Each structure stands twice: as C-alpha cells, then as structure tokens.
Amino acid sequence: MLVNPKPEQLADWFSKSSRVAVLTGAGVSAESGVPTFRDKTTGLWAKFNPKDLATFTSFLSKPDLVWEWYEFRKKAIHQTEPNPGHLALVRMEDWFADFTLITQNIDNLHQRAGSARLIELHGNIERNYCITCGREKREVTDLPPKCDSCGGLVRPDVVWFGENLPERALQNAWKKSSESTIFMVIGTSAEVYPANRLPYEAKCAGAQVIVINPDENPVTHYADAQVFGKSGDYLPHLCNEIQKKLNA
Ligand code: BV8
Ligand code: ZN
C-alpha cells in the first residue's frame, strides 16, 4: 500500500482510469466547520446519544426533541460554506467517462458546491416529508411540523439507524462501486453499514482504493493508498496534478 503518496503519484493512476467513484463522510465537511459524528470532543454524538435521537422510535416518542436537534444542526450548517475539498470534487466530475460521488452526508454541502453526479445514501437535512401521506413539506415553522394536506406528523428526510437506505440510491451506489476502476474513501470512519461495504465491493471488483483521512479506518487495511491528511488540503493539489496529466 502506498502511504502518503504525492498528488502527482496518484494523478498517474487517475490518468489511466475511466470510472471513478467516491464515498464521502462527515470528515469532508469538517473544514467547513460542520462537526463530525464520532469526534470525541466536538462530535455530534459526544453531546447526544444517537440512539436517543437518530431513530424512528425516538422520533415518535419525542418529535419535539428530535426536531430541535435537526433545526439546531441545520442552522449551524447554514452558517458554513463548502470548502476546497467539496469544490475539488466538483472539478473532477467532468474529467472521466464515469464519475460518481456517493455521500453519507446529509448537510447538503456537496450540492451547494455544485456536485451533480451525486448519490445521497442517508437523505438530506433540507428535505422533510409527512409520515402519513409522504407529501413533502417545504417550510418548517412550528415544531413538530404537521402536513399541509393531511395533518400528519412531518419528519426530516434522513435515514435513521435501523431504517433501510433509499432503494434506488443504494442499488446505484453498489453498481457504481463495482464498476469503478478507482474508488476514493474520503472523510469517513467507515463504521456505518451498509455504506461501509461499498469500498470493499469496489476492491473485490478490482478497483484501486484510496483513503483520504487524517486517521486510519477499517478500509486502510485493504486500501492501495492511504493519505493521512485533510481532504480540503489534499484534494485541490490532486486535482491540479490530474489536470496537468489530462492536458499533457
Ligand atoms: C440499515 C443520518 C438495514 C441521520 C446516519 C451492529 C453492527 C453493525 C451494524 C449494525 C449494528 N447494529 C445496527 C447496525 C446497522 C447500522 C449501523 O451501521 N450502526 C453502526 C453505528 C454500527 N446501520 C443502519 O441502521 C443503517 N440501516 O442497516 O438498514 C437494517 C435495518 C434494521 C436493522 C438492522 C439493519 C442506516 C444507517 C444510516 C444512519 N444515519 N445519518 C443523521 O445524520 O442524523 S449515519 C451518520 O453516520 C451520518 O450519515 C454519517 O455519515 C455516518 C457515518 O459517519 P461518518 O460520516 O463516517 O462520520 P464520523 O464522524 O464517524 O467520521 C468522520 C471521519 O472523518 C473520521 O474518520 C475522521 O478521522 C475524518 N476526518 C475528520 N476531519 C477530516 C477527516 N477526513 C478528511 N478530512 C478532514 N478534514
Ligand atoms: Zn400528509
């Protein structure tokens, strides 16, 4: 495995690759100031217990508390901007015959950065829907919000623990992972199933797997390259080197 490859070294791999897939997690948004999940001190879970908040059962028993948590996170996210790591991934979109960005993040920062070839595995904090009739609700004013057409309880359009991921999104993510020739794993602890199976799917299908993370994670043990660094630092340099090779 290559440890801390220079951007030009990895750029060589990309110049020979046609199908690139990327899996991102909360670490990609860390440099925008959005707290990650498992960071011992600043992580979201450090203050809250996921079982208390990110499950449908908790939502039914404490809709106000769960809604306050999401509104608190949404307000914090609205104070942030996409960072150079998000923007670098937008630049890469048009350089390959096939490029797919698969995100676990619900913070909408990839979308605000301009990523279009995007699969949202865990939903999006900006969307909500009625648990009775499924109708989308745009404006959240009073908590918990009620459906405009049937009066049912409205929930955030995010995937909670114990819930299945959106069928089409997951199928598409499996397909793109198994077809990829390069699979990047950026800013994720790779602890959450089934997202954490995608890098292995890619590896088994013969892709070169690259991890970008200041820490190692379970994917490190079978990756072809590990960059111990921040995505917002490394990705812009990688992009510049890939562009040089593609323009050569
Ligand atoms: C499901 C939306 C079928 C909500 C989220 C026991 C064993 C194994 C699995 C399970 C188990 N019990 C239950 C399960 C399944 C469970 C699961 O995996 N649990 C885990 C905790 C063990 N999964 C599910 O329930 C999934 N559904 O499996 O359905 C099923 C059905 C019924 C019963 C069983 C199974 C649904 C999972 C989706 C949960 N929803 N989010 C919300 O956000 O409020 S998950 C949540 O965690 C986020 O989406 C987040 O993306 C995700 C993963 O976290 P990360 O993104 O990786 O963030 P983290 O903080 O962990 O790591 C950040 C990383 O970034 C770190 O490595 C750090 O070093 C790095 N970093 C920091 N700074 C930078 C950086 N990297 C780069 N640059 C930087 N600057
Ligand atoms: Zn309704």
CATH number at 184 reads 3.40.50.1220
Residue range 186-200: mean pLDDT, rounded: 97
Angstrom distance (rounded) from CA 125 to CA 65: 16
Same domain, 217 and 243: yes
Ligand 1 residue neighbourhood (C-beta within 6 Å) = 25-27, 30-31, 36-39, 43, 54, 104-106, 122, 158-164, 187-189, 191-194, 212-215, 217, 230-232
Atom of ligand 1 nearest to the CA of 123: 2
Same domain, 21 and 106: yes
Q: Determine the distance separating the centroid of ligand 2 and the alpha carbon of 110, expressed in angstroms.
A: 29
Strands 19-24 and 2-3: unpaired
| Structural domains counted in the chain | 2
Is the N-terminal amide bond of 35 cis, ω within 30° of 0? no
At 49 the pLDDT is: 75
86 is catalytic: no
Among all bound ligands, the one having the nearest atom to the CA of 184 is 1
Angstrom distance (rounded) from CA 184 to CA 177: 10
Angstrom distance (rounded) from CA 3 to CA 59: 43
Q: Determine the distance separating the centroid of ligand 1 and the alpha carbon of 121, expressed in angstroms.
A: 11
Residue 46's SS3 state is: helix
Same domain, 101 and 192: yes
Q: Determine the distance separating the centroid of ligand 1 and the alpha carbon of 105, expressed in angstroms.
A: 9
Note the pLDDT tens digit of each residue in 48-73: 776 678 999 999 999 999 999 899 89
Average pLDDT, the chain: 95
Q: What percent of the chain has pLDDT over 90?
A: 89
* pTM score: 0.96
Q: Quick check: 44 pLDDT over 80?
A: no
Same domain, 134 and 147: yes
Cβ atoms of 212 and 186 closer than 8 Å: yes
Give me the catalytic one of 86, 110, 122, 221.
122
Same domain, 61 and 172: no
At 41 the pLDDT is: 65
Range of the domain at 62: 39-79+127-158
Q: Determine the distance separating the centroid of ligand 1 and the alpha carbon of 160, expressed in angstroms.
A: 10
Same domain, 200 and 243: yes
Angstrom distance (rounded) from CA 88 to CA 90: 5
Q: Quick check: 21 pLDDT over 70?
A: yes
- Measuring from atom 80 of ligand 1, which residue has the nearest CA? 230
Atom of ligand 1 nearest to the CA of 164: 29
Which residue out of 192, 219, 233 has the highest number of ligand 1 atoms within 8 Å of its CB and is therefore the one to mutate?
192
Which distant-in-sequence residues (6+ apart) come within 8 Å of 120 by Cβ? 103, 106, 166, 169
At 36 the pLDDT is: 82
Same domain, 152 and 52: yes
